[in-house]
Amino acid sequence: MVWGTVIVAGGRRADDLMGLLLAEVHEEVGRPTTFYLRYPVERDADGDLFPLKEARLAPGAEIAVFQRGSGFNDCLVKGYVFSHQIRLIHGVEGSTVEVIGGDSTILMDRKTKITQWADNTSDSDAVSSIVGGYGLTPEVESTNTRHLENKRTLIQHDTDLNFIRMLARRNGYLFWVRADETLEETAYFKPVQLNAVAEAPLLTINLDNPNMRAFDITWDVERPTSIIAAAYDGAAKTIMDGSGAPPPSTFAGDVPLNAIASEVRSTSIIAAVADVGDLTGRAAGVLNDTSWFVQATGTVSAQEVGAVIHAHTLVNVDGVGTRFSGSYFVAAVRHVISSDDHLMTLTLVRNGWRA
């Protein structure tokens, strides 16, 4: 049994499915959260190979992976099995099966749809409607742009997942789904919350009682810091200018990229939009995506940190020098849970640094 992990199958605790050799959960911004559960293959009472035909691990079976430790009870992922990877060794001993699945967003990526959304629909209205159809609770931040039939109708010609992620990019938002300890799932559609740093876990190195042993940092300032944005207004017969998009916000006290790399670094966007607000929003979304010029990686233990860290959240880092200490956005987490520990390999990003 791996450290602290509880398996829930079909909504019920499954003690007989907890004899894992290894559990991994991979979270990454812009991708479904996936899980990998490695089991030993054994002969059952009928001489067959368990768990290769186990119904609770069959295609489409619902699995939730919990991590329960001192001070936390955390659902790492709730999702559905879509693959097995099986390795059989003669005599069975040493044989394994890896059960692989993804979170509920994989259900949203199965069917391509062609839909014309109703007049006066906003991007956030469309997202709330779609996720509600999958039984998800929407936590959707409103978008300003509304799509009017006499200007630019909102048209979907993709899967629900790809359509929502396209709307997220337009607005500088992120989209993801998470389940809580009761298995209730929430769909989030919002920008990065840079002000939510007070309760973020603290990662330390080069200080007393560190919880990181290594921390790798890369920065690269050769990326756009300004944008040329234009669109044609067919009704007014004029060119709309969206180049006044606001620069991305940073963590409090950070120097932004456009002040660090002050020479002109521009990109462009040409889009069919209804108004200048829509165009400016898209331009701001592009600049937001390109602004994360600092990337860092490190591995920490859930036992030492005292928390499970998720993608789409924040952490605070100390002991890495004045410039690079501070708050980071968690872009990806690879949870690897063995018999004695739960290690989290983190990919962190930042769009500024301290003076």
Domains and CATH numbers, the chain: 4-108 (2.30.300.10), 111-191 (3.55.50.10), 202-219+294-353 (2.40.30), 226-291 (no CATH)
- What would the DSSP string read from start to end of 5-31? EEEEETTEE-GGG---SEEEEEEETTE
Q: Mention every residue, 6+ apart, whose C-beta is less than 8 A from residue 88.
A: 41, 49, 95
Higher pLDDT, 78 or 3: 78
**CA 276 to chain centroid:** 30
Stretch 53-65: mean pLDDT: 97
Q: What is the pLDDT of residue 272?
A: 75
Burial of residue 84, with CB atoms counted within 10 A of its CB: 0-12 exposed, 13-18 middle, 19 or more buried: middle
C-alpha to C-alpha distances, 245 to 109, 261, 264, nearest whole angstrom:
32, 18, 15
Q: What is the pLDDT of residue 270?
A: 79
Across 34-38, 93-97, 272-276, 310-314, least confident range:
272-276
Look at the block and give the residue holding tokens 């007989």: 16
Q: Hey, which residues does 350 pair with through a beta bridge?
A: 294
Angle at 303 between CA 300 and CA 306, to 5 degrees: 90
Q: Identify the sign of the CA torsion 121, 124, 130, 134.
A: negative
Res. 76 pLDDT band, cuts 50 70 90: very high
Contact yes or no for 55/101 (Cβ under 8 A): no
Q: Record the pTM.
A: 0.93
pLDDT at 264 over 90: no
pLDDT at 219 over 90: yes
d(CA 113, CA 160): 7
Stretch 267-273: mean pLDDT: 81
Q: Which helix (H) or strand (E) holds 39?
A: strand 31-40
Res. 210 pLDDT band, cuts 50 70 90: very high
pLDDT at 99 over 70: yes
Contact yes or no for 338/97 (Cβ under 8 A): no
Nearest C-alpha neighbor of 302 from the set 12, 21, 23, 87: 23
- Indicate the residue type of 95: S
Res. 281 pLDDT band, cuts 50 70 90: confident
Contact yes or no for 353/255 (Cβ under 8 A): yes
- Asked whether the bond before 51 is cis by omega within 30 degrees of 0, the reply is yes
